[in-house]
Chain A
Amino acid sequence: MNGPLLKVQNLTKHYPLGSGLFKKTIPVIRAVEDVSFTVETGETFCIVGESGCGKSTIARLLMRLVEPTGGRVLIDGTDIAGLKKDALRAWRRRMQMVFQDPYSSLNPRLTAGQIITEPVENFECLGRRRHQALAADLLRKVGMSPEMMHRLPSELSGGQRQRLGIARALSLNPSLIIADEAVSALDVSVQAQILNLLLDLQQQMGIAFVFISHDLGVVEHIGHRVAVMYLGRIVELAPCEALFAKPIHPYTEALIAAAPVPDPTRLRLEAPVEGEVPSPVYPPSGCAFHPRCPLAVERCRIEVPPLVPMADGRVVACHVRAPATEISGNPALAGDRSILLAQ
C-alpha cells in the first residue's frame, strides 16, 4: 500500500456559541485549529494534552461524528468528507472507536454476544450459528471466555466491559481503531491488562491506533509517535522516545515535569508551571502558551509560531526553541523541512 493509512490536513473545528440570529458576530469555541498529521499502517499514534485541548474533538472529526469547519481527513487517499451514505457506511468498517467509559458506552439490555456482533449485523444478516461462532471468536481474541456471551454488561467488571468495547471495535476487522481515553477510567492493574491486549492485537492483526490520552506514562509506553496539543493546536509532534527523552516545546516540558513519578527518592527541583489553560473562546494572541511560558518573548505575544521541523524528525511550534528563520536559513535543515512537509 502506498502512502499513509490516515492523513489529516489542516483540520479545523469551531463550535459556534449560541445561534446569534440578531448578533453580527457569534463567538466560537476554537476546538481544533489547523491540525495536520499522518498515521501509518500498524502504527500507534498518540495525542496528549489536557482538558479542552481538542483531542476528543479530533476523534469525533476522524469518525465524522461531527463535520469539520475546515481541512480534510483522508483514509487511503479518499477524502471522507465527500462520502455519501453508502460509501460512508462502507468506509466506517475500516475505522472503529473505543470509548473511555465502559459503563455508559455499552447497551445495558443487550448481552455481551449481541453487543460485540451488532456492528457486523449492520452489514449482513448472521444466522444463529454464525452469530455464536463470531461472538465466541471475538471474546477469545480479547481474552474472555466464550461462556461470557450470555452475560449482561451489569454482570461484568470494568475491565471485562472495556474488553467488550474492544471486541466490538474488532468485529469488523478495522485497519484503524480510535481509542479515546480508553484506559483512563480503569484501575492500574486492569489498565495493564488492557494495554497488553492492545499491544497483542496490534502485533497479531497490524491494526493502527489513534490513542488519545492525558496520561503521559501510558502514552510513552505504547506510542510510536506522539502529538502534544495545547488549546486546539499541535505544539510538538515527535517519535515517542525522542519526545520523552528530550522535550523541546516548553509546554511539553511542563507536562512531562508535572506528571507524578512513582519513585520517592527522586527529587523534584523545578516548580510546576503556573496558571491555567485559557479559554478556547478567547485564546491568547500569538502562541497560546505564552501567558504561562517561562521563555516567552515579545514575538510570542504577536505571532502564532509555525510548526518547524527539527533535525531529529520532529516538528515544534515555538519561536524561542524552534525559530523558523534560523532553520530555513540553514540549507541542510531547509532540505529536511521540505521532505517533512511533503509527507
Chain B
Amino acid sequence: MLLDVRDLETHFYGDESVTRALGGISFQVNKGETLGVVGESGCGKSVTALSILRLLPKLTARTVGGEVRFHGRDILALSDREMRQIRGDRIAMIFQEPMTSLNPVYTVGRQIAEAVQIHTKASRSLAMAKAEEMLCLVRIADPQLRVNNYPYEMSGGMRQRAMIAMALACSPELLIADEPTTALDVTIQAQILRLIVDLKERTGTAVMFITHDLGVVAETCQRVIVMYAGRIVEQASVIDLFAHPAHPYTQGLMRSVPDRRRGRQRRLPEIPGIVPSLREPIVGCSFAPRCPFAIDICRDKTPALRDVGSSHAAACWRAEEVMGA
C-alpha cells in the first residue's frame, strides 16, 4: 500500500461559519494503480488532493483530523521542510488549468529543469537535458525547440503535456491529477488520457485521478471512490461500480448522463433537489433528502461505509436493495 488516508477531516473558516468540506474520509491507493475520485462540484474531491499535499490556504482552511500515511509515515505530522521534499518528488500533482499553473515568465524547459534540480541536485545542463527528454516522453514534437518555449507559445494541449512532463520528471510514486483534461477539447482530451494511461504503465506510477466525468473514469481507472457532500459514499472496482452501483447517488449520477442505449429525446432521470450546505451539521445520511430509497433510519443515523461485495463498499442503509433495483 502506497497511500493510506484515515478519517481525513478538513474545515474551511469563513467570517461567521465553518464549512465541513471533508467529513472524515478513509481510502487507500495501492502501488501502480489508478484510483478515480468522482463527484460533483463541492463534494470535496479537490480538497482531498490539497489536504494530502498540504496545499490548503493556511488562513482559511485546516485539516482538523485524521492521518495521511505515505509508505506508513503520517505526512500530516511532517515539518514544512520535510513535506517539500516529498511534494513534487515522490508525490506530484497536475491541475486543471495548465495556463495558470505554469509560470508565464520562464521557459517550459527551465521550469521542468527547476523541479529536477530541486530534488536531485543535478547540474543545470543535466537538468535541461532531462527536461528535453521529458518533453519527448510526453510526445511533444521537436522537444529540442520546445524546451525554449514560453507557456503562451504553446497550445492548451501542449501545455498540459508540459505539466505532465514536469510532474513526472522526478519519477514520483504517486501522481495526483485534478481534472487534467476538463479544460481541453475532446480530441485533445483523448490524446492526454491515452498519454496518462501509457505513461502509468511504463513508469509504474500510481495515479489518483480526480474528475467529474464518469466517461473518463470508465476509460482510465481501475478502482473508484464516489464522493458526496464531503464523504465517500461508494468505493469499488470500476467494473463493479458501473455494473452494480450500490449507492443511490452513484446510481442517480449514472442515469442522469445521456446515453444512446436508453433512447434519444427522452426525459433523463433526475436527482431531485440540490446538494446540502456543509455549513450546518448534517443529521443522518446527507443524501437522504434527495434519495428515492430514503426511510426513517436514513434521516436519523449517518450510514458508515460497509462492505456490500468483495472490495465493494457503500455508505447506505439499503445498499443491497439499491443494487437489486
**B260 at interface by CB-CB < 8 Å:** yes
Partner of A196, one of B191, B252, B270: B270
**B285 at interface by CB-CB < 8 Å:** no
Given contacts A51-B185, A159-B274, contact A221 B194 (CB under 8 A): no
Q: Which residues of A contact B239 (CB under 8 A)?
A: 264-265
> Are B264 and A255 in contact, CB atoms less than 8 angstroms apart?
no
Given contacts A199-B265, A260-B219, A262-B217, contact A244 B189 (CB under 8 A): no
Query: Would you list which residues of chain B between 250 and 281 have a CB under 8 Å from chain A?
Result: 252-254, 256-260, 264-271, 274-275
Partner of A221, one of B186, B216, B264: B264
Q: Which residues of A contact B196 (CB under 8 A)?
A: none
Partner of A272, one of B191, B266, B269, B271: B191
Whole-angstrom CA separation of A116 from B264 in the bound complex? 30
> Are A262 and B215 in contact, CB atoms less than 8 angstroms apart?
yes
Whole-angstrom CA separation of A51 from B183 in the bound complex? 10
Q: Which residues of B contact A195 (CB under 8 A)?
A: 258, 268
Number of A interface residues at 8 Å Cβ cutoff, please give it: 46
Given contacts A196-B270, A265-B239, contact A258 B190 (CB under 8 A): yes
Whole-angstrom CA separation of A283 from B163 in the bound complex? 28
Partner of B189, one of A187, A241, A258, A271: A258
> Are B264 and A241 in contact, CB atoms less than 8 angstroms apart?
yes
Nearest opposing residue in chain B for A244, CB measure: B260
**B114 at interface by CB-CB < 8 Å:** no
Whole-angstrom CA separation of A292 from B269 in the bound complex? 38
Nearest opposing residue in chain A for B263, CB measure: A221
**B174 at interface by CB-CB < 8 Å:** no
> Are A262 and B270 in contact, CB atoms less than 8 angstroms apart?
no
Q: Which residues of A contact B40 (CB under 8 A)?
A: 187-190
Partner of B216, one of A199, A240, A260, A268: A260
Whole-angstrom CA separation of A257 from B239 in the bound complex? 21
> Are A260 and B193 in contact, CB atoms less than 8 angstroms apart?
yes
Partner of A188, one of B193, B194, B216, B253: B253
Q: Which residues of B contact A258 (CB under 8 A)?
A: 186-187, 189-190
Q: Which residues of A contact B193 (CB under 8 A)?
A: 260
Partner of B157, one of A240, A260, A276: A276
> Are A188 and B256 in contact, CB atoms less than 8 angstroms apart?
yes
**A327 at interface by CB-CB < 8 Å:** no
Q: Which residues of B contact A188 (CB under 8 A)?
A: 40, 212, 214, 253, 256-257
Query: Would you list which residues of chain A between 175 and 194 have a CB under 8 Å from chain B?
Result: 187-193
Q: Which residues of B contact A265 (CB under 8 A)?
A: 239, 242
Q: Which residues of A contact B253 (CB under 8 A)?
A: 188-189
Stretch from A4-12, A212-220, A306-314, A317-325 that touches the partner = A212-220
**A88 at interface by CB-CB < 8 Å:** no
Whole-angstrom CA separation of A262 from B245 in the bound complex? 13
**A334 at interface by CB-CB < 8 Å:** no
**B41 at interface by CB-CB < 8 Å:** yes
Number of B interface residues at 8 Å Cβ cutoff, please give it: 43
Whole-angstrom CA separation of A255 from B187 in the bound complex? 6
> Are B212 and A255 in contact, CB atoms less than 8 angstroms apart?
no
Partner of B258, one of A50, A217, A266: A217
Nearest opposing residue in chain B for A48, CB measure: B186
Whole-angstrom CA separation of A326 from B258 in the bound complex? 38
Query: Would you list which residues of chain B between 183 and 220 have a CB under 8 Å from chain A?
Result: 185-191, 193-194, 212-219
**B21 at interface by CB-CB < 8 Å:** no
> Are A50 and B270 in contact, CB atoms less than 8 angstroms apart?
no
Given contacts A188-B212, A262-B259, contact A272 B218 (CB under 8 A): no
> Are B194 and A271 in contact, CB atoms less than 8 angstroms apart?
yes
**B238 at interface by CB-CB < 8 Å:** yes
> Are B256 and A191 in contact, CB atoms less than 8 angstroms apart?
yes
**A35 at interface by CB-CB < 8 Å:** no
Q: Which residues of B contact A271 (CB under 8 A)?
A: 194
Given contacts A188-B257, A189-B253, A264-B239, contact A272 B264 (CB under 8 A): no
Query: Would you list which residues of chain A between 247 and 283 have a CB under 8 Å from chain B?
Result: 254-255, 257-266, 268, 271-274, 276-277
> Are A273 and B187 in contact, CB atoms less than 8 angstroms apart?
yes
Q: How far is the CB of A263 from chain B (nearest CB, A)?
A: 6
Nearest opposing residue in chain A for B39, CB measure: A187
Nearest opposing residue in chain A for B274, CB measure: A157
Q: How far is the CB of A281 from chain B (nearest CB, A)?
A: 14
Q: Which residues of B contact A255 (CB under 8 A)?
A: 186-187
Nearest opposing residue in chain A for B215, CB measure: A260
Q: Which residues of A contact B252 (CB under 8 A)?
A: 189
> Are B191 and A189 in contact, CB atoms less than 8 angstroms apart?
no
> Are A264 and B218 in contact, CB atoms less than 8 angstroms apart?
yes
> Are B242 and A263 in contact, CB atoms less than 8 angstroms apart?
yes
Q: How far is the CB of B77 from chain A (nearest CB, A)?
A: 35
Query: Would you list which residues of chain B between 137 and 183 have a CB under 8 Å from chain A?
Result: 155, 157-158
**A222 at interface by CB-CB < 8 Å:** yes
Nearest opposing residue in chain B for A49, CB measure: B185
Whole-angstrom CA separation of A214 from B157 in the bound complex? 16
Q: Which residues of B contact A187 (CB under 8 A)?
A: 40-41, 212
Q: A157-B274, A276-B188 are in contact. List 17 more A-B contacts (CB 8 A).
A: A157-B275, A187-B41, A189-B252, A189-B270, A192-B268, A196-B270, A217-B258, A221-B260, A221-B268, A222-B258, A259-B215, A260-B189, A262-B214, A262-B242, A263-B218, A263-B242, A268-B219
| Chain B residues engaging chain A, CB cutoff 8 angstroms | 40-41, 155, 157-158, 185-191, 193-194, 212-219, 238-239, 242, 252-254, 256-260, 264-271, 274-275
| Chain A residues engaging chain B, CB cutoff 8 angstroms | 50-51, 157-160, 187-193, 195-196, 199-200, 214, 216-218, 220-222, 240-241, 244, 254-255, 257-266, 268, 271-274, 276-277
A/B interface sample: 24 pairs, CB < 8 A? A50-B187, A51-B185, A157-B275, A187-B40, A189-B252, A189-B253, A192-B271, A199-B266, A217-B259, A220-B258, A221-B264, A221-B265, A255-B187, A258-B189, A260-B213, A260-B215, A260-B216, A261-B215, A261-B219, A262-B215, A268-B219, A271-B194, A273-B190, A276-B188
